[in-house]
Amino acid sequence: MTDPATLADRVQAGELRLYELEAESDPETAAAARRHLLERETDVDLDAIGDYTFDAAETDPNVENLLGGAQLPIGVAGPVPIDGGAATGEFYLPLATTEGALVASLNRGLSAIRAAGGATARVTDSGMTRAPVFRVAGVGEAETVVDWVDNHTDHLRETAESTTGHGELLAVDPYVVGDSVFLRFVYDTKDAMGMNMATIATRAASEVVEAETPAQLVALSGNLCSDKKPAAINAIEGRGRSVTADVVLDRALVEDRLNTTPEAMVEGNTRKNLIGSAKAASLGFNAHAANTVSAVFLATGQDAAQVVEGANAITTMEIRETGLYASLSFASLELGTVGGGTRLPTQAEALDVLGLAGGGDPPGSNADALAEIIAVGALAGELSLVAAFCSRHLSSAHERLGR
């Protein structure tokens, strides 16, 4: 078998390209050859990047031109009791992050929720979308396409679902802009995040639309989906999981655990998270929900780029007779417990900690549970951060923890 240094020589000489190394050797040797090459050309020691625990051969669905692995610290917060539609019991949250004080802050919020007897969480809607854009001659043809789709949704459903053993087409919503027709396909992708599933199914359905109407496909994704970018349509219609968590904290609990009052929390949330966000025209009306989303996403093998949609959340707080009511509602948490990075060893272990690795019974229940757990964790983060700035402890906490 060719050694890594010799393979690196051949790449430098122009005999091989980086992506051809697996054809000349096994995946581990190919990765080592790339490290040799980069070490020569950049004069950087890549021992840390080359020190990983997963099987290089098993990363083929996840990455090209494998070089090594990126290691992040993983902390844990909890446990927290959750009364969820899918997540019921006590859960620890694995959090992969490089932001000091984040795990400590979430742990404080979870401690308050735990002292209150736990939080409630529910997935209120679910659907992964893909929205191709078609060209037509004008609005007359656009009407023809829309009418055909409305009358033949069952045909499109049969075609789309023939490409997958799990996904279900829930709806096809048309949007017309001049001579462009967008069809927003919505799928139930069960425990998979489902972006690839939705794309493949929509491609098949789009071929039917082209064959049966005047429409001509321009792009399989017309950005009305909308994937990995801030979009009001996802804030309104949802994408992935729409999920809400809430809790009621007694006045004494707020004062003892969070060092502030319910009145101060409500005012702080209103002025910062609601009024401030509205003035900024933000799609996220929250303090830092994306912190929890990103940390759990990285720990459990989710598509990190979809934290963009995961920041699309609204935090509310109000006075109740007994103290403080707080909620956090996510419009578009795009996640899964099968496929993608969830199969990697570290990420699979983190899902095992939650008891959610693999497909659920019934299908979709594990992904629902993960969404509910993230919502409760993020709610804890909102409670802790709002309390910190209400009591003016935010900067001192970072100073105390040396962050």
Domain identity same for 52 and 143: no
Residue 235 in domain: no
Domain identity same for 35 and 120: no
pLDDT class of 398 with cuts at 50, 70, 90: very low
Query: Is residue 184 a contact partner of residue 131, using CB atoms and an 8 Å limit?
Result: yes
Domain identity same for 244 and 204: no
Cα–Cα dist 350/353, whole Å:
5
Query: Which residues constitute the domain of residue 32?
Result: 4-59
Domain identity same for 155 and 86: no
Burial class (CB in 10 A: 0-12, 13-18, 19+), 212: middle
Domain identity same for 386 and 361: yes
Cα–Cα dist 31/398, whole Å:
39
Instruction: Calculate mean pLDDT across residues 218-227.
Output: 95
Cα–Cα dist 317/21, whole Å:
56
Instruction: Calculate mean pLDDT across residues 368-394.
Output: 92
Q: Does residue 403 surpass a pLDDT of 60?
A: no
CA 55 to chain centre: 25
CA 133 to chain centre: 25
Domain identity same for 145 and 290: no
Domain identity same for 290 and 365: yes
Beta strands in 180-302, from DSSP E residues, in sequence order: 180-188, 216-219, 240-250
Q: For residue range 175-199, what is the model confidence (pLDDT) as tens digits?
A: 999 999 999 999 999 999 999 999 9
Residue 200 in domain: yes
For residue 152, indicate whether it is catalytic: no
Cα–Cα dist 117/113, whole Å:
7
Residue 137 in domain: yes
Domain identity same for 184 and 136: yes
| Domain count for the chain | 3
Closest-CA residue to 202 (of 179, 230, 225):
225
* 39, 99, 168, 212: the active-site residue: 99
pLDDT class of 400 with cuts at 50, 70, 90: low
Cα–Cα dist 341/212, whole Å:
38
Domain identity same for 12 and 154: no
Domain identity same for 139 and 120: no
C-alpha radius of gyration, the chain, whole number: 24
Query: Is residue 323 a contact partner of residue 254, using CB atoms and an 8 Å limit?
Result: yes
pLDDT class of 368 with cuts at 50, 70, 90: very high
Residue 228 in domain: no
Residue 231 in domain: no
CATH number of 334's domain: 3.90.770.10
* 152, 166, 393, 398: the active-site residue: 398
For residue 263, indicate whether it is catalytic: no
Query: Is residue 82 a contact partner of residue 374, using CB atoms and an 8 Å limit?
Result: no
* 28, 303, 349, 393: the active-site residue: 303
For residue 43, indicate whether it is catalytic: no
Of 36-40, 172-176, 185-189, give the lowest mean pLDDT range: 36-40
For residue 356, the model assigns a pLDDT of 97
Q: Is the pTM of this model over 0.75?
A: yes
